[in-house]
Structure 1
Amino acid sequence: MDIIFSPDHALHQSPGELNSGEFVPAFEKPERAEIILSRAKAVDLGPVIAPDPFPAEHLTRIHDPRMLDLLRTGAAEWAAQGRQGGAFPFTFFTRGFRADRVPQTLEGRLAWFCFDAGTPLTATSWQAIESSAHVALTGAAAIAQGKRSIFSLCRPPGHHAGSDHYGGYCFINNVAVAAQYLLDQGAKRVAILDVDYHHGNGTQQIFYQRNDVLLVNIHATPDQEYPYLLGFADEPGAGAGEGFNLNLPLPWGTDWAGWSAALEAGCQRVAEYAPDVLLISLGVDTYIKDPISQFKLDHAHFTLMGERIAKLGLPTQFIMEGGYAVAEIGVNAVNVLTGFEGR
């Protein structure tokens, strides 16, 4: 299985995040990608390939250009005002505020486009953000050209980023950009299976009214867990997309028996949809020792996960999302991939 990877991911390093009332070191850090890559090399998963460049139009097919402009220039504007650290919002857009105009000030645009206090922009963030999207696009291009499986080792992750908002360590929705690329290249139907512990709210928002992308999310219930405001079972899609969004929320403490039952339901829905391509939002923060998660999967379960996904028999692109037990992230992520390959 080819691995698409860019060392530019390390150019985004958060100065920290607001968590439970404290400003703490960021859980999403460069070591995550490096440890996964090291493990992939250790098991000889496949060759490591640098991403190709892609035109910006592939990003604007999914995201508001004004948000992309903020991601590109926000840190420089922040520094030009004499501020230190990363560019964080001070306030947040919510009900009752005007929704018909984007603010002109940097503070206003941060409030408009960013929805949490864990996703700062730094001086070199944009290069990492753009390269992560190109890692996803390069993998999608390989699938479009006939590859049966590919691993896009994206960082920063992407599934919390919506068409016009970012947060949850995510800036550009890599899996959505890849899905749209595949559709533009001739795929008629694409399925996305999101196995991250947290609900992929951004991916849901992007495709909620579309039937050319089926989205299945297996995640911690938003009654207990981030992002809290989306990801409930009664969100089936709307308009043309009704019936093409399947949320499978699970309670804190879910073990492999409960999680695998949801995986089976999700895989059956994917099989019914009969997509041309399957994309996996690969989060491994379902691991029992993950510091910010509450599920109980262990190393062997990630291998079983890959084995079940492989039974779908579809061209499959894995796109890296979350996982914050950094020491073990390589074992868990690569176990999914080797399980998929039948090793």
Structure 2
Amino acid sequence: GAACALAAARELLAGERAAFALTRPPGHHAGPDFFGGYCFLNNSAIAAQALRDGGKQRVAVLDVDYHHGNGTQTIFYERADVFTASVHGDPATEYPFFLGHADERGAGAGEGFNLNLPLPRGTGFEAWCAALDTAIDAIDDFNADALVVPMGLDTFEGDPISGFTLKSEDYDTVGRLLAAAGVPTVFVFEGGYAVAEVGVNAVNLLEGFCRSI
């Protein structure tokens, strides 16, 4: 899975506008010295670091999984060269509980380079999109030259372990909004447990993105 994310990052470094790492297990709950939430290696963080190592000066990570990417936040929390943003279920009630609150903004050199946008269980698409727009605006202000999207699809209304209410057709709009950021993008597959619909939702997001670049 980590090698797949690395391969996607290398596609961007070779000049591609976007690449998708279709990989399991997910990764964004894995930190520098811990694992959890089915995650053992942080695929998205590995991709982001590969982009930095390959010459991208300012890399952003925009996590759209239902659950906060606590591992990714921890890895980059004291760094100013990787901006991390996450739209997720409120950790007051949702896993991983102990990280992902709005007042966590980074530390040391990384202060101001971490943005959490927690939302309550039951949030619908309009409010979720407003939070996504806020994250994209912050990434634009950061002037990122590469973007990694931990592409969780457990925001879907039928997901068995999550609590947002996005519909399959909404993911086309999500893809278009991400494309509007105008940044070379690596998508790294994360959560999504409504097995019958997860493929449709993934394709809808990627097709929406590809039609808009």
Q: Does the alignment reach a TM-score above 0.5?
A: yes
Aligned counterpart for 2:9 among listed residues 140, 146, 150? 140
Distance 1:214 1:157 in 2: 20
The 4+ residue runs of structure 1 with deviation greater than 2 A are none
Of 63, 72, 89, which aligns to 1:203?
72
1:169 to 38, 45, 54: 38
Q: What CA distance in whole angstroms lies between the structure 2 residues aligned with 1:224 and 1:303?
A: 28
Alignment equivalent of 2:201, drawn from 332, 335, 342: 332
**Residue by residue, what CA displacement relative to the aligned partner does 1:69-111 show, whole Å, maximum 9, x if unpaired?**
xxxxxxxxxxxxxxxxxxxxxxxxxxxxxxxxxxxxxxxxxxx
Q: Determine the structure 2 residue equivalent to 1:258.
A: 127
Deviations 1:105-160 (A, max 9, x none): xxxxxxxxxxxxxxxxxxxxxxxxxxx00000000011011000111112111000
Query: 1:166-196 CA distances to partner (integer Å, 9 max, x unpaired)?
Result: 0101000001111111111111110000000
Task: Indicate which of 260, 273, 277 corresponds to 2:146.
Answer: 277
CA–CA distance in structure 2, aligned partners of residues 204 and 249 of structure 1: 14
Q: Which stretches in structure 1 are left out of the alignment for 5+ residues?
A: 1-131
Name which of 42, 45, 61 aligns with 1:192. Answer: 61
Write the mapping of 1:223-234 to structure 2, written as runs, cut at 5 A: 223-234=92-103
Instruction: Report the AA paired with residue 90 of structure 2.
Output: T
**Corresponding position: 1:182 with 2:51:** yes
Matched, 1:268 2:142: no
CA distance in 2, matches of 1:208, 1:289: 32
The separation in 1 between residues aligned to 2:72 and 2:57, in whole angstroms, is 18
Shift of 1:300: 1.2
How far residue 334 of structure 1 moved from its aligned partner, in angstroms, is 1.2
SS in 2 for 1:292: coil
Alpha-carbon distance, 1:313 to partner: 1.1
Once the two structures are superposed, residues 190-221 of structure 1 have per-residue CA deviations (whole angstroms, 9 ceiling, x without a partner) of: 00000000000000000000010000000000
The aligned amino acid for 1:277 is A
Q: With CA pairs under 8 Å and 6+ residues apart, which has the higher RCO, 1 or 2?
A: 2
- Structure of higher CA gyration radius: 1
Equivalent residue number for residue 110 of structure 2: 241
Root-mean-square deviation over aligned CA pairs: 0.7
TM-score after normalising by structure 1 = 0.61
- Does residue 314 (structure 1) correspond to residue 170 (structure 2)? The answer is no
Distance in 2, Cα, partners of 1:157 & 1:207: 18
- The number of residues matched between the two structures is 212
Residue aligning to 2:84: 215
Distance in 2 separating the partners of 1:179 and 1:222: 24
Q: Which AA in structure 2 matches 1:152?
A: A
Secondary structure of 1:299's partner?
coil
Query: Unpaired segments of 5 or more residues in structure 2?
Result: none
Q: Report the Cα distance in structure 1 between the residues aligned to 2:203 and 2:119, rounded to whole angstroms.
A: 24
Task: Say if 2:174 is the partner of 1:305.
Answer: yes
Q: Distance in 2 between matches of 1:322 and 1:233?
A: 22
**Matched residue type, 2:173:** L
